[in-house]
Structure 1
Amino acid sequence: MKNLILLLFITVIINSCTEENSSLTTQQESINDLYDRFPMIKGDFKEIRKVVVDSVSITLLRNKSVEKYDYDEIMVFCKNKKFYSIPFFSNMYFDYWEFQNENQAQLYPKTNSTFNKELENVFKTLNLRDEESIHTTNELFLSVIHSEINLHSKPDIFKNYIYSTERVDRYKVEESDSCLNKTKKIFAKISKNAKNTIRYNQYFLDSSNGRVYEMINTSTQKKPFSFEIKTYRIDCFAYRLEI
């Protein structure tokens, strides 16, 4: 019996040490870990902006060697010298964003993850409290991504406006009429949802990346902070203009 207790004690110590050693304690370590998990992300990245939310920081990195229209980005989250990096892919990777309004097949490698899953990993890895998670999520969309809110009162954002993406080396070019219909449908959904005063979902317009994020409150009494993000692609794949 004593030997069994001793064995269990040693096992707990070993597991604790393993977990502690597996923690990523520098930004570069977390980025290298991201490279291993998402081999489609390559290049030399530079810091675009950094936002600090109480004890949590969020750093946005972009590849130095490419233009904005042909890019993937990285977000690095940090708390108490623990780091976790997630990809901030372009719209080429449908599976990562789980686009609610996308019908065509993905023509780029599968990421085997989603934006929702990666955010959950951030909260768990950094051991964020509910209040920290709420503040971090809000600042992520507003201060890091620079999204717009209160979209139900801004019809001009969606009507007669096309968000173009010039990278179409694999995807077919989209007609402007179909792109306009796509944004109008999303605006109609947002307007309808805004009338629901009991459980209103928050929408964020990320015009730089051609996306709308719908944050759905899934909180319960047992789980006070819980949400799901649904993403809609609003950009229009167009030919690159040569001047």
Structure 2
Amino acid sequence: MAMTPVPPGRSLRDLRHLTPARVGLGRSGAGMPTDALLAFTLDHARARDAVHATFDTSALMQRLAALGLEPFEVRSRVRDRKEYLRRPDLGRMLDEASQRALAAHGGRPRRLAIVVGDGLSPAAVNSHASELVRGLVPRLAIDGIEVDGAVVASGARVALGDEIGAILGASMLVMLIGERPGLSSPDSLGAYLTFAPRPGRTDAERNCVSNIHGAGLGYDEAASRVAWLVREGLARGVTGVALKDESGGTPQRIAAGVDCPDKTAV
């Protein structure tokens, strides 16, 4: 009787083709092989560089203006990048000059505002934010939703958008911000959505679309997901754990509410 051949087993080398995680690196004596060690060191340096990259607000303002959004620039209460990393609380509050200027700039209720903040990876925002907005605006227009205000925020944490949205009188706020760099994705952008933003909102009251970068979630898919969440959030009057993504995409690519990975150290 002929035996059915047993398919060859999968190896760790096969797994390495499916994930950017560091698996099956091998070893040299008690340590890693030189190639693996050098690759780790390079990725670690890229992550550190992304955190300390210069936030190119001028270029970003020009790109957003070219999309017809008339951006407005503000700052948090942090004085420099070192303080930003040591004092997350200061990155959640506008400085006094920005508060006054934004209050003068506001003055009327608006349906949707977009805030673009540097976060923990200014490199991600420099690379991806304007392209995501470019894909988002026409998708929102299909549903009759106008982006009524764009703000560029330096020294920003996610919760800074709550104060900005409250001052602007926005019903919905989309915060685009650089996520904490990882060893496989130093330039990952996140989009956080909050209905009726105001200081004191918790992460459970937000939705998040994360890992937007060249090797992760593409602009088209990310824009479609954000547009769906904006439309449904406005229609239902909620975001966060009360609004789960049902846009029909791959569930592993989006985390909603408290399921969003804590990549920004909000």
Structure of greater relative contact order (alpha carbons < 8 Å, 6+ residues apart)? 2
- One fold, TM greater than 0.5? no
Bigger proportion of residues as helix: 2
TM-score by length of 1: 0.30
